[in-house]
Amino acid sequence: MMDTQAPPPEDFSREMDLALGQLASEDLYVRDQAAARLEKLGISATTTLIQALEEHKKPALGIIAKILGRVGDKRAIGPLSQSARSGDEALRLMSVWALAQFRDSEALPALLMEAERPHPVIQSYLASVLGNFQDLRAVPVLSRLTQHSSREVAFHAVAALGELRTPESTRALQRAYRRRDPMIRAMACAALSRRGISPLVASGLLWKMIVGAMVLGLLMFVLVRYYK
């Protein structure tokens, strides 16, 4: 969490108003400098930034969400979760990114909810970061995402499941290995191999070979007995 000493109240209020106004500038350099100043203020700016985010009156709300994610004050998790659900496209994307920066269990429910929404860009990003939380609550969502129609979403979900070792994640990886996509199969194979599980077992091919051998053996036995 970023924590810096706030300037005197009069200067602080003036600096906040100036920087928030400059976030709407058409000049990229001015916007970037304003965002950098707000980020430097750290948690002392959190309350004002949250208020701006919740009121939806200030421009450049996506930049405000990004700053809150960089500052890392947990008070912003609730407001960011709300803006991820109800904001416009740009705000939703940046709010999800900001929530993922916390790496905190308190932010996980909102991220899991967003991962279930049919938005491949958000789902792909979340599939790539949910494994970093090392929280088993992510396993059911990631398991479903391994069957996503988007290769990128499914690939990242398989990679994330490789970091979460549970029976459910192993079964999901085995299902992913049976998909036709070579990239998804390769990632699932690598994850299963790290668990000491053979690709033959993962694909069910070993069991089919065993059954086939048993059937062949029984057939040979019958033929030998018949012609004896």
Write down how long the chain is: 228
Min mean pLDDT across 12-16, 94-98, 120-124 is at 12-16
Q: Are 160 and 135 in contact (CB under 8 A)?
A: no
Helix (H, G, I), strand (E, B) or coil at 42: strand
DSSP letters, 193-228, are: HHTT--HHHHHTHHHHHHHHHHHHHHHHHHHHHHH-
Q: Does the structure show a pLDDT above 60 at 6?
A: no
Q: How far is CA 196 from the centre of its chain?
A: 26
pLDDT of residue 218 exceeding 90? no
Domain range annotation of the chain: 1-102, 103-197, 201-228
Token output for 44: 């002392």
165 Cα distance to chain centroid: 17
Lowest-pLDDT choice from 30-39, 40-49, 144-153, 197-206: 197-206
CATH code for the structural domain at 103-197: 1.25.10.10
Coil, strand or helix at 3: strand
> Which pLDDT score, from 0 to 100, does residue 207 have?
45
Mind listing the pLDDT tens digit for each residue in 72-93?
A: 999 999 999 999 988 788 899 9
What percentage of the chain reaches a pLDDT higher than 90?
66
1-102 and 103-197: same fold?
Answer: yes
**Cα within 13 Å of Cα(210), Cβ side:** 6
Tokens matching residue 48: 């004002």
pLDDT of residue 86: 82
Q: pLDDT of 146-203, one tens digit each? A: 999 999 999 999 999 999 989 999 999 999 999 999 999 999 999 999 988 876 555 5
Q: Write the CATH number of the domain with boundaries 1-102.
A: 1.25.10.10
